[in-house]
């Protein structure tokens, strides 16, 4: 490929270099274009703009490829765990046995949620949205560790390992504490002897501090959901977190902002929409056939199909499909909406309407069914997404801090009023 590109405007030529990634992704480097031409480039929603160079995650949406630090998501889902993959995403390499043990210990050691954070959680109304509480809880958590929020990149990087472990450990405790508060239940203490997901499930649903045993398939299903959500390139919440970090903000502030970006229904709330759709289909007495027809006629929207990046079957959806069966079997429950989901998938994968539009199941299609079966309230689904995504957000904070890059500052094309004269109130 050529290593340069030329943009012609009238009789003027502007030579720009081309940046080529390790997976042959290429982009025109327009950083000097405004200085040369006096013009900016316009890309509504940044869909065609590379905002950074990153080493964390690679996606090829046309081929259905997702890799963390070069490792295929299929291999990690089969052989790894959430905490091991979290280490990989954050630090760039799979850990040795000793490194993994040390990482697990750091996460377990951050076992007690500070009472001041608990007070913030319980200061919210009981019906407050869990994502609002989660964001505030992470902010409050940072204030409990003043030595880790200097807002000096060098200083914050020096204590990053501890900050990352505190956040990864506490984010599930904030979620569990708020859930039990709004259910009128006493909090359950963290147990460092349990695995990350066993501990979280106990803090959520146990009747006592001793905690009931969690079926391995159930814990594995939640661990898998977290692993599959650990990072996903420059999405809305990650790019928001990176932008906050670019201003020199600490990891706690950057992640609290990323949580707010994830909250929206077009991003982290998509699996809630899937459950709502499946429940409505079930309540109507339909097996999905009438709904498919209505979707093809443009009368309704088929949630959980299609993805802004993937133009193929989302590899994470394939993995969760099998985990869904195992989790429900381990729980000893049946799910009528799972039968509807399978029927929708079967029809959509064979129907020319959906094939032509490349509307394949995405990760939200099955994750919501698993989370519902595990007993999580629907409005907590996005919180679960955030817990899984925390390692990715931390990895991108680290990447920004280590690069020492400049603050992100997008440009705009102003379309408002031109200069006007101020009129006194009595003349208007």
The DSSP element (H or E) to which 219 belongs, if any, is helix 216-228
Kindly report each contact of residues 311-314 with a partner whose C-beta sits within 8 Å and lies 24 or more positions away, as own/partner: 311/61, 311/62, 311/358, 312/61, 312/62, 312/63, 312/64, 312/358, 312/360, 313/64, 313/360, 313/361, 314/64, 314/360, 314/361, 314/362, 314/363
Cβ(240)–Cβ(216) below 8 Å: no
Sequence length of the chain is 428
φ/ψ (deg, to 5) at 369: -65, -45
Cβ(321)–Cβ(366) below 8 Å: yes
| Active-site residue, from 364, 379, 396, 408 | 364
364 is catalytic: yes
The DSSP element (H or E) to which 5 belongs, if any, is strand 4-9
Helices assigned H by DSSP within 69-129 = 73-79, 82-91, 97-109, 115-123
Cβ(302)–Cβ(365) below 8 Å: no
Cβ(56)–Cβ(392) below 8 Å: yes
| Active-site residue, from 231, 307, 314, 396 | 307
Within 69-139, strands assigned E span 71-72
CA–CA gap between residue 161 and residue 168 (Å, rounded): 11
Q: Could you report how far apart the first and last alpha carbons of the chain are, in Å?
A: 61
Cβ-based neighbours of 54, under 8 Å, separated by 6 or more: 233, 234, 396, 399
- CA-based nearest residue to 343, from 127, 335, 31: 335
Beta carbons within 10 angstroms of residue 121's beta carbon: 24
Catalytically active residues, by annotation: 307, 364
């Amino acid at each position: 490929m050529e290593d340069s590109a030329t943009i012609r405007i009238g009789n003027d030529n502007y030579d720009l270099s081309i940046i080529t990634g390790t997976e042959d992704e290429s982009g025109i480097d327009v950083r000097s274009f405004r200085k040369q031409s006096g013009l900016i480039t316009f890309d509504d929603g940044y869909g065609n703009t590379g905002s950074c160079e990153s080493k964390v995650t690679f996606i090829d949406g046309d081929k259905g490829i997702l890799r963390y630090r070069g490792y295929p998501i299929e291999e990690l889902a089969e052989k790894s765990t959430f905490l091991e993959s979290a280490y990989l995403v954050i630090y760039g390499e799979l850990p040795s046995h000793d490194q993994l043990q040390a990482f697990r210990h750091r996460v377990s050691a951050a076992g007690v949620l500070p009472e001041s954070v608990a007070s913030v959680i319980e200061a919210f109304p009981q019906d407050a949205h869990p994502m609002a509480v989660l964001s505030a809880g992470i902010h409050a958590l940072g204030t409990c560790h003043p030595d880790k929020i200097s807002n000096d990149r060098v200083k914050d990087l020096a204590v990053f390992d501890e900050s990352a472990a505190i956040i990864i450990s506490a984010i599930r405790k904030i979620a569990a504490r708020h859930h039990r508060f709004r259910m009128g239940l006493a909090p359950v203490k963290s147990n460092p002897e349990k695995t990350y997901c066993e501990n979280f499930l106990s803090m959520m649903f146990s009747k006592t501090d001793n905690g009931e045993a969690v079926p391995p398939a159930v814990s594995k299903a939640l661990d898998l959901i977290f692993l599959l959500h650990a990072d996903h390139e420059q999405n809305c919440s990650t790019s928001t977190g990176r932008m906050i970090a670019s201003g020199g903000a600490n990891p706690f502030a950057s992640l609290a902002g990323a949580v707010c970006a994830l909250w929206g229904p077009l991003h982290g709330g998509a699996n809630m929409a899937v459950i709502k759709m499946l429940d409505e289909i079930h309540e109507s007495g339909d097996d999905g056939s009438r709904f498919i027809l209505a979707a093809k006629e443009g009368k309704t929207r088929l949630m959980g199909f299609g993805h802004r990046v993937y133009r193929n079957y989302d590899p994470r959806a394939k993995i969760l499909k099998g985990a869904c069966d195992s989790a429900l079997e381990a729980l000893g429950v049946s799910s009528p909406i799972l039968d509807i989901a399978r029927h929708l998938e079967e029809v959509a994968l064979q129907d020319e309407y959906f094939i032509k539009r490349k509307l394949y199941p995405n990760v939200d299609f099955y994750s919501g069914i698993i989370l519902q079966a595990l007993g999580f309230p629907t409005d907590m689904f996005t919180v679960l997404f955030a817990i899984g995504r925390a390692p990715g957000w931390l990895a991108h904070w680290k990447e920004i801090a280590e690069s020492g890059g400049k603050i992100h500052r997008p440009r705009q094309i102003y379309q408002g009023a031109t200069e006007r004269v101020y009129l006194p109130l009595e003349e208007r």
